[in-house]
Structure 1
Amino acid sequence: MQEQELLNLLMLQNIPGIGHINAKKLVQYFGNATNLFQANIKQLSEVEGIGDKRLKSLKDSAYLREAEKELEFIKKNNIEVHYYQDEDYPFRLKQCIDGPLLLFSRGKIDLKNKPILSIVGTRQITSHGIAFCEKFISDLAPLKPVIVSGFAYGTDIVAHKAAMDHNLQTIGCLAHGLDQIYPKAHQKYTAAIENNGGFFTDFCSHHTFDRKNFLSRNRIVAGLSEATVVIESAEKGGSLVTADIAHSYDREVFAIPGRPQDKFSKGCNMLIKQQKAQMITSAADLVYFLNWDLTAQNKNKQAQLFVDLKGEEKLVFEKLKEIGKAEIDALSLACDLPTYKLASVLISLELSGCVRPLPGKQFEII
């Protein structure tokens, strides 16, 4: 992209009252941002819904000076700029009507051909929620998903850290520009995240942290991924907003159920009750609902002779080892497990690289 075009796009994105939907409409109407700012008042007024106030803003030179400062910041700090019409713009975010005109990033982000999952929840995550989140990501690790969250206290940072513990890419979506980090207590994680993914924001460097920016940040968390998982949530909170946005984008939403009397289970239970989210209790459930391909992930794995299996997983594995290939109904009888429970166990074993599916609803150990 030519520098002048980027400068004009920066200016357009930061003019108050325009918004990302109108900005993209204006660019599409004039062909590019440079043509837009070269247009006269008469030409601009022909765009449906532009209005006199927006017309005046488009001709205000103050926004040009701000854009020039931002362009200098981008150059000096090796910021990547992703334009919504470019190939490197996140594919799923491009499908969102209110996706940003420009998205800024820092780090080593690679989203091509990767399963992408957003994980959100309360800032006051409980010990139960932490344990579930860590095991959930650990169980998904063989599939190499990219874990997206909001880099906030509680669930967000637990998800980011768990992803890095398993060498997974993780992306923190920020509610401010890339010249700062909020909360400051998370500054110590920035280098590790940039080496294992990075940060996204649609805010320029002069935009400081403000709670009103959360809504904008949350739409990026929801828009980047194919599914959003709510770990824990009270009856109100940002994670429910993110879930609602994901639902409005026609993306899958999952929630972890809990006891009705528990404060941070009420939001998840409500999402499930309102049929805005599917109930899941394990990584295997998520893989089943999303129909993620486990075969491709496991085809190069050798048999794991020393896998630490327990309970029903050990029972099913040993039975398959004994009888060889087995159809799911026959295996259900052999293990004395109902098929719905057996299906969950088999998916968990696939995630561990212990078994693989075959045509005809058959399974065998690897």
Structure 2
Amino acid sequence: MPPAWTRRFRPGTGATGREKLRQREFAVDDAEVKPYFPLDAMVRAAFDCAQRLFGLRFTPREDLVLYHPDARAYEVHDAAGRAVGLFIQDNFARTSKRSGAWMSALAVQGRNGGEVLPVILNTNNFAQATPSLLGFDDVRTLFHEFGHGLHGLLSNVTYTQLAGTSVLRDFVELPSQLFEHWMSEPEVLRQHARHVETGEPIPGALVDRLRAAERFGEAYETVRYCGSAIVDMAVHRHPDPASVTDWSAFEEQVLEQRGLPHATGINHRLTHFQHLFSSSGYAAGYYVYLWAEVLDADAWNAFQEAGSPFDAAVAERLKRCIYSVGNSVEPGQAFRNFRGRDPVIEPLLRQKGLL
């Protein structure tokens, strides 16, 4: 018989019920949302935000022959017209392509032995159609990966091994998660989120429902995430893991000691939590995604304090202190250089509706 904790908390129990409640409370329907988010318009929105924040201009290079007809190349220049690098975007799913979304650096920025400009690839797996319409989560994914792309494009270091996204895992998620905020900014939506047939901007009431739906169940999900992170750390801190004969019982003991509420459960059970053991890069590292949220919420709060999501002084500081330094500056110091202090948790709690 499984331990009591396992019997009480079966992962996934109630998920369908929660989704039904979310739909009923907020009336979020992809059929209503997607016509306002055609892929081409959302790509232009991401490029527009990069220009307004960092002065970057993306010029199509249709003359370049790429590895697949779906891929699109853009030459990137800064506000002074200097070449920054090459950006490639490959947005559609196909049978020869693995699932998910990611950023790759085909050439890494550096100046040791000669100037090397970055060649950055963003890969997504959106459904190909005419027109291709995105859900709200798809738009978030597009902006997230573009944030990683900007981290590679804006790199300004001497050594390639310290360039761009070659940073600690929590810090690599800061530029990407932070860039997600611009996709739902009212002035960005008014300009770019327009109905594919009528050209009308997305209604404010629909945006309000989408934002409310995103906050639905945040306390529950945060507790589940923290439970998984706590178990992860307990496993990797165990002085003699070979002595553990029942990892399910170990999991139960850790969560009982920490007082996990009996109605939640955790996101991942140890016996199938492959992320923790797939590579040393993830070992004892599940918590970093939540810590990255602390960093990105606090960084976004700098723009809120300035009174504009495109405040020029904050954007310049963000570029200089975060996006361009790679691993040439210790991450904690890089954040202090940007914010003038260590990160605080309150912006994230407010963002999640928990404060």
TM-score range, shorter chain: under 0.3
TM-score (structure 2 length as normaliser): 0.24
TM-score (structure 1 length as normaliser): 0.23
Q: Which has the higher contact order (CA 8 A, sep 6+)?
A: 2
